[in-house]
Amino acid sequence: MLTKISNFLQTVIYVNAFTISECIKTDQNYKDILGFRDPLTKLATRRYMEIWLMHKKPLSVIFIDLDNFKDFNTKYTHIIADNTLRKVGEFINAIKITSNNLRVRFGGDEAVLFIESDTETESICRQLKYGSYKATGITFSIGSGSTISEANSNLFKSKAAGKNWYTL
């Protein structure tokens, strides 16, 4: 019985390794296959974030929340809301960051940026606040800090200040 289980596990490992190597050879994106990239926004997933944070130590964290998105979703339907999230994902992915970074879809309408430098934080927050995503009719509340907890706390300060704001 133990031999059968061992053979089964070897087969599973081989098939998974083969699938990943074939994806890489055929230029398919293995991050999509493994669930490391959100299919809607093209931002990294929380699953990938957890792995990334085991190996990296960001100096700056920027927490982003779309203002009034629940109302937007209800008013314009899920199809339009999903298209808006796709555009917001494109916008976040296009932000210029010179330091090593990770851009994550943290929740339904939340994103987090992890940056291995603290010199670009305010510039990135300004890009988020004043950027071209305004065509979607959506604004962001933004909080930054040295940890997710601190950035999230500052995000709530931005919301309390009237939304469409950033707090460093």
pLDDT in tens, 151-164: 999 999 999 999 89
> Shortest CA distance to 112 belongs to which of 54, 38, 55, 164?
38
| 101, 113 Cβ separation under 8 angstroms | yes
Q: How confident is the model at residue 137 (pLDDT cuts 50, 70, 90)?
A: confident
Please list, residue by residue across 5-33, b when 16 or more beta carbons sit within 10 angstroms of its beta carbon and e when fewer do.
eeeeeeeeeeeeeeeeeebeeeeeeeeee
0.85 exceeded by the pTM? no
Mean pLDDT, the chain, whole residue set: 84
pLDDT of residue 35: 79
Q: What is the pLDDT of residue 12?
A: 45
pLDDT band at residue 5 using 50, 70 and 90 as cut-offs = low
Over the stretch 13-35, which tens digit does the pLDDT of each residue have?
544 554 555 544 444 465 666 67
CATH-assigned architecture of domain 46-167:
2-Layer Sandwich (3.30)
pLDDT tier for residue 3 given thresholds of 50, 70 and 90: low
- Domain edges within the chain: 2-33, 46-167
